[in-house]
Amino acid sequence: MAYVRMKKVKGSEYYQLVESHRVDGKPRQKVLVHLNKHPTVDAALKSWPKDIRNLRRRAKRASDEYEDLPVWLKGKRFYKKQRDFARVDMRQAEALQAKLKRLRDLRNRGVG
C-alpha cells in the first residue's frame, strides 16, 4: 500500500510517496518518490512540468548570454559561474523530469 507521508526537517515540511511492507514481521517503508513541498501526488503532477520548463528556460537564457560574450570576458570568474549555474539548472531539470516520469509510471500502475 502506498501513501503520502509528511516529514519535518529543520522546521520545514516535506512529503514523500512511500510504500509499506513487512520484513521479518516488522513494518518497513520504502520511499518511492520525494514530492518535496507538494502535499499530494496530484499537486506534484500539476506543478512539475511547469517547474521543468522554467528551469530549462532559465538555463538556456544563461547559456545564450554566456555564448554571446566576447572571448576576453568568458575567462572572468563571474561569467564562468553564470555558465556553471546554467549547467546546474539543466541538471536539475533533467532530474525533475526523471522524477516526473517515475511518478507518472507509478500512477499508471495504480500506486499513489
Domain ranges of the chain: 2-108
89 vs 52: CA distance, rounded Å:
9
67 vs 3: CA distance, rounded Å:
46
Q: How confident is the model at residue 15 (pLDDT cuts 50, 70, 90)?
A: very high
pLDDT of residue 68: 87
Residues 59/87, Cβ–Cβ less than 8 Å? yes
- Residue holding cell 501513501? 3
pLDDT of residue 106: 92
pLDDT value at 69 more than 90? no
pLDDT of residue 97: 97
How much is the average pLDDT of 5-32?
94
Neighbour-count burial of 43, counting CB atoms closer than 10 A to its CB (0-12 exposed, 13-18 middle, 19+ buried): middle
pLDDT value at 94 more than 90? yes
